[in-house]
A and B are shown apart, each in its own frame.
Chain A
Amino acid sequence: MGLDKIGIAKRIAQELQDGWYVNLGIGIPTLVANYVPEGMSVEFQSENGVLGMGPFPFEGEEDADLINAGKQTITAKAGASFFDSATSFAMIRGQHVQLTVLGAMEVSQNGDIANWKIPGRMVKGMGGAMDLVASAQNIIVAMMHSNKIGESKLLKTCTLPLTGVGCVKKIVTELAVLEIKNGAFHLVERAPGVSVEEIIQKTEGTLIVPEIVPEMVLA
């Protein structure tokens, strides 16, 4: 039960604000670009060096010199710009980018995030994630509530090597929207048809549940 990936992306898109520059990570976060509310002007930054990222190119118009951070072929919108990696991370560290959306393997109740390494098994590297989470003012984590073997990804403390400490403020999963405040997860909304009990049961960390938990409204 709960949302699919598109549902998660749609819910995150509701967090966008007019005039924001936004960095989207690989996977579910990339889908957020498809659901920008009508009439809203949001520019997407990709850390490999483009601002004003457009949709995927039409077949036959792919350009090897124009990709996003996920190495996918993209297009550039009118008004886009290209720049080098140092300038790109100046935008990120210098807090010129208003929102970062990224995936995670684990998030802890004090806002720590782990998403880059499983010791002895997966050694892909952190890419730009550490720079992004260390600096962004708004970080939304888009992820599934549990991992593939059914263990909660919302923990008291992360067990995997960290990407950043005390930085995550909001999480959107297939079951719920949660905020991190004062060292605990706070349940904000539940996905359509999902019970509060299920969210409690699937959250290992401390979860504060208000008396009324509204259901998400998705277009």
Chain B
Amino acid sequence: MNKTVKNVAQALEGIESGMTIMLGGFGLCGIPENAIKQLVKMGVNNLTCISNNAGVDDYGLGLLLQGRQIKKMISSYVGENDTFERQMLSGELEVDLIPQGSLAERCRAAGAGIPAFFTPAGYGTEVAEGKEIRVFNGKPHLLETALYADFAIVKAWKGDAAGNLVFKGTAMNFNPMMAMAGKITIAEVEEIVPLGTLDPNQIHTPGIFVQRIFQGEVFEKRIEQRTVRKRN
């Protein structure tokens, strides 16, 4: 099986305005930056984006917000983006904020054929409003449903033509869950290696979850908070 596509344009074929798209990453770490730039170029709009964060004003998903391409964001934390906050407070942008663990599990559930699950996160808060509550082991839990997407776009370190993916460091984050949840999953990787190069013992996301894979042209990999210590 060869899932390799030539470039980002081919990889994103079929994405249309109004669709629901998952994008991996935590902050700016592990985001599919080449695919995001391509979405800007394509000019698709009215998107529902499921992503833990919303990028910063001039990088990551912030680029799609600037062009008003996003109708609705489903995220857990959006603190680093003024454009986001402005569009949300003015009511221009619809936002569904959900607990981070619930977001991860809702993606995983969709990919695992589990339509809903109970979690204690958010009980007694506005997150629980309108949701079924049940007590297990003496503790109240709320029912959360799986999150599906027309396309999931994930970013990995290395991948092969079979769609097998290996992530690096904390750039893994939401990517494996989202790869499972997309009807069509597109993997943007830093390097496509020949089949047989990746050790099957070390694969993070097995190729079955990936439909298309491409090697990104440029990786800026911007750092959001550069914190260092001095050498003595």
Contact = CB atoms under 8 A, between A and B. Distances in A.
Interface of A: 46-50, 55-74, 76, 82-86, 88-89, 92-93, 112, 120, 123-131, 134-135, 161-166
Interface stretch (B1-9, B38-46, B170-178, B208-216): B170-178
Nearest to B177: A86
Nearest to A73: B227
Interface of B: 26-30, 52, 75-80, 85, 88-89, 95, 97-105, 107-108, 119-127, 157, 167-177, 204, 221-231
11 contacts: A48-B26, A62-B226, A72-B225, A85-B173, A85-B174, A86-B108, A88-B104, A126-B98, A126-B99, A127-B77, A131-B99
A89 B177 contact: no
A92 to B, nearest CB: 6
Contacts of B170: 46, 48-50, 65-68, 82
A70 B121 contact: no
A56 B126 contact: no
Contacts of A166: 124
A123 B89 contact: yes
Nearest to A91: B101
A55 to B, nearest CB: 6
Contacts of A68: 170
A141 to B, nearest CB: 16
B176 A84 contact: yes
Contact of B123 (A66, A72, A93, A165): A165
A209 B100 CA distance: 38
A85 B52 contact: yes
Given A84-B172, A86-B104, A89-B105, A124 B78 contact: yes
A29 to B, nearest CB: 15
Nearest to B85: A123
Given A48-B170, A130-B99, A135-B120, A58 B231 contact: yes
Contacts of B204: 84
Looking at B30, B170, B223, the one whose CB has the most chain A CB atoms below 10 A away is B170
Contact of A48 (B29, B105, B121): B29
A71 B100 contact: no
B28 A71 contact: yes
A117 B222 CA distance: 28
Contact of B101 (A63, A73, A83, A89): A89
A130 B121 contact: yes
A123 B88 contact: yes
B229 A58 contact: yes
B172 A126 contact: no
Looking at A57, A82, A84, A135, the one whose CB has the most chain B CB atoms below 10 A away is A84
Please name the 9 residue pairs, one residue from A and one from B, whose CB atoms are nearest each other, closest first.
Answer: A89-B101, A131-B101, A165-B124, A124-B79, A85-B104, A65-B169, A64-B221, A130-B99, A127-B77
B228 A128 contact: no
A130 B131 CA distance: 16
A68 B88 CA distance: 26
A181 B204 CA distance: 44
